[in-house]
Amino acid sequence: MAGTWLDRAIGFWSPSTALRRLRAQTAHALLARHYEASASGRRTQGWYRTTTDANAAIGPGLAKLRDAARDLVRNNPYAESGLTTIVDQAIGWGIVAATPHEAWRRWTESTDIDADGRHDLAGLEKLVMRTVVESGECLVRRRLRRLEDGYALPLQVQVLEPDFLDTSKELASLPNGGRIVQGVEFDVLGKQAAYWLFRSHPGSAMSLTSTTFSGASARIPAEDVLHIYKASRPGQVRGPSWFAPVLLRFKDFDEFEDATLMKQKIAACLAVITSDVDGSAPPLGTADDTVAPGVDSLEPGMILNVPPGRDIHVVQPPAVQDYAAFSQTTLRAIATGLGVTYEDLTGDYSNLTFSAARMSRIRHWVRVDDWRWRLIVPQFLNPVWAWAMQAAAILGMPAPVTTEWTAPPLPMIEPDKEGLAIQRNIRTGITTLSEEIRARGYNRDQFLDELQADFKDLDARGLVLDCDPRKMTQAGMFQSVGGAPPPGAAS
């Protein structure tokens, strides 16, 4: 072998070099033996492994992944179910700000916040989350408005699909020392400086048919644009669709269902083929020349007297088997790839015990928290709050720099037990009454004002209800010495 005579030649002229070479070869052989996946052989044949960075790996297939995911969501019920499940569980009835601010409340609880005039803040949260999951990323642009427009705060936010990014803008070096990667411009320190956006969606009907659309993009400063996506690798600039790991499985499953349906249609057919020696035998049933010449019509319950010399063959169609088992296996893999439970994806809760359902829900809720507190809150809600407070400060309103956020809680599986746990957490100081009120989608001040009004009305009417903790214990006893009802209480 070439390696043998080369090693001998090196050893003759430089024994020390030959020794270092032998050590390196031995280390390489041991490494390949310990990490089988790094070796080259029969088991790794055809395994496409690259050393590219995240942007080189994502960039070429970004648009195709996005288009394939959108097509699946439009046409596949399981894809739509998986997408809706993620959005509903991550956002629920909306993630709300804990800091009371009247202008913020009026702005976010109306459609004034939306540049398209369709959603309040909770609706925008769902739209952003849906776009991120389906398309991989979402753009949100700040739109300043005039005071005479009459909004609670003089700005709106506009949600854009990632198609607006001009990916043809790609420069390794700018005169100021920065660079542009797939439409995102960075300064010399590696911080986002601007986004190159088309003026209209490049795939819109007007863009495709208009002769005036030049395809030119404009440079928008980064302080006016939010770029929301899930970064899985350091240095990642763009986000691929969350459907990327399961797109091929979805496509194969679609084709499998179509083939199974056709097979089922064939299996539902009954075909009878007859033949005779010279073709002179009378029809087996009733001749139906309106369908096709030589076709007989058979009816249920018919008793036939087969003429001599005629052979009858009944076609045995194939039976549909293993559909349920294959479907469950495939859909479980798809659910795992999307990050949802099989039951939420399919709506199939059969053969699932209560304890298994509870553990599955708790495990899944860890992902929901990650979507909320590592994606929506830091990349969308916090910057929108900052934009709003900048506008409030200009108008001379109070402008807290930051706020805490409250998201909907984990749905109760056993309300009687879990409600008692919430009560104990409040009493022991683990959580607060205000936090639990916000977690259920209520405005804290409005809720307590309404509760106070209810208590005043009950006192004025002389009513004591079991739900009034001021006067009744949890065990149903009056909150007074000796258990006597308070004055004016109705018996």
- The pLDDT assigned to 491 comes to 44
Burial class (CB in 10 A: 0-12, 13-18, 19+), 170: middle
Secondary structure (DSSP) of 181-198: ETTEEE-TTS-EEEEEEE
- The pLDDT assigned to 306 comes to 65
Tell me if the pTM is above 0.85: no
3 state DSSP class of 117: coil
Q: Which residues of the chain fall below pLDDT 50?
A: 1-2, 481-483, 490-491
**Residues near 70 by Cβ (< 8 Å), separated by ≥ 6?**
134, 135
Q: What's the rounded Cα separation, in Å, for the pair 144 and 155? A: 4
- The pLDDT assigned to 482 comes to 45
Beta strands 137-144 and 155-160 are antiparallel
- The pLDDT assigned to 483 comes to 46
- The pLDDT assigned to 485 comes to 54
- The pLDDT assigned to 481 comes to 47
Q: What's the rounded Cα separation, in Å, for the pair 325 and 65? A: 28
- The pLDDT assigned to 362 comes to 83
Task: Determine the length of the chain.
Answer: 491
- Percent pLDDT > 70 in the chain is 81
pLDDT digits (tens, 9 = 90+) for 359-392: 888 888 899 999 999 999 999 999 999 999 999 9
- Max CA separation in the chain (angstroms): 112
- Map out the domains of the chain as residue ranges: 2-49, 55-269+317-399
- The pLDDT assigned to 214 comes to 52
